[in-house]
Amino acid sequence: MSEYTYSIITAHYNTPGLLKEMLDSIPDRRDIQLIVVDDNSFDDPCELESELGSEVMGRIELYHNPSDVHGAGRCRNEGLSHAKGKWVLFVDADDILTENAFEILDRYKDAAEDIVYFVPQSLVLPDMTEGSRHRTYEKLIKEYLKDPSAEDMVRYRLYAPWSKLIRRELLDKLKIRFDSCCWSEDVMFSVKAAYYADKIAACADPVYIITQRQQSLTTHVSAYKYQVSVWVYVREYLFLKDRLDEETFKKVAEWPGGKIVRALMGGYGLPMVRYILRLYKKYGIEIKLKDMGGEYIRSSLEFLANRR
């Protein structure tokens, strides 16, 4: 049996001050393994150790992205290769955990489920007002807690790796790892983990706080990154279509036309639309207006609101 209950894995790039704040939100306990994987922030790795200081270094295992290609996915995969805990919890370097996070997490340390989802919170920095990034997660989890038939939406629509406990044995046994792409690297990881999880659970008590900053990665989506996200969407679509029954697939799969509408809303232009159509044709993905549904309209409005 592992000496660790939790392996907390953080991918870090050039924000040592925020990383310290995140680590300060985690209690100093012997059953918590703190793994930080730096995405080669400095030419000399010792510079980060100096920035963090001896007190922080005494609490963490620090590793470095072993490749020449930047990316949170590569860093998290490196962290997973060192993880020893029963449960894995991913925490972004610029986010924090709630004050009572481990009082809540400890309720589930002996759970039989493979994944436990928690409602997150979000804060806008620096004014500390409530953000918007948690709302979709909150809605889906609370709907599931009220109605267990909504389980599939939790499994296949909560793409972020954070705010959930994942049984490490599941990830290692099936070799579930993150993509190495620069964007949407967590989608297939989360979808595969959810698909292969025997049982899941959810909790309305928040353990995770997402921070929103103008400089954060999620506020800037280049045309190239959007193109990558489309390719990841195609992989997700095909993965689920091949494995889920037709009714479940129609319920959880995002309408294919959404990527085209959002490409136009995002200002990526006709070249992006042509790219998407060529990709859809190659993999036999059809756009049917009757499949659009009200859920797509709602999510599109949220997408527009979050870009402002």
Taking only the tens place, the pLDDT of each residue in 2-57 is: 689 999 999 999 999 999 999 999 999 999 999 999 999 988 888 899 999 999 99
Torsion of the alpha carbons at 67, 72, 78 and 82, rounded to the nearest 10: 160
pLDDT of residue 67: 86
Bridge partners of residue 11, in order along the sequence: 37
- The sign of the torsion formed by the CA atoms of 289, 293, 297, 303 equals negative
CA 162/CA 94 separation, integer angstroms: 12
CA 287/CA 138 separation, integer angstroms: 29
3-state secondary structure of 25: coil
How much is the average pLDDT of 275-282?
97
pLDDT of residue 42: 87
Architecture of domain 6-216: Alpha-Beta Complex (3.90)
3-state secondary structure of 110: coil
Look-up: residue for tokens 């925490």? 91
CA 262/CA 267 separation, integer angstroms: 8
How much is the average pLDDT of 105-110?
98
Residue type, position 240, single letter:
L
pLDDT of residue 129: 85
For the stretch 157-206, pLDDT in tens is 999 999 999 999 999 999 999 999 888 999 999 999 999 999 999 999 99
Q: Domain coordinates of the chain in residue numbers?
A: 6-216, 223-307
pLDDT of residue 299: 57
pLDDT surpasses 90 at 274: yes
Question: What are φ and ψ of residue 211, in 5° steps?
Answer: -105, 145
Bridge partners of residue 198, in order along the sequence: none
Residue type, position 245, single letter:
D
Bridge partners of residue 121, in order along the sequence: 209
pLDDT surpasses 50 at 217: no
- pLDDT, the chain, mean: 91
- The distance in angstroms from the start CA to the end CA of the chain is 48
Look-up: residue for tokens 């992006």? 272
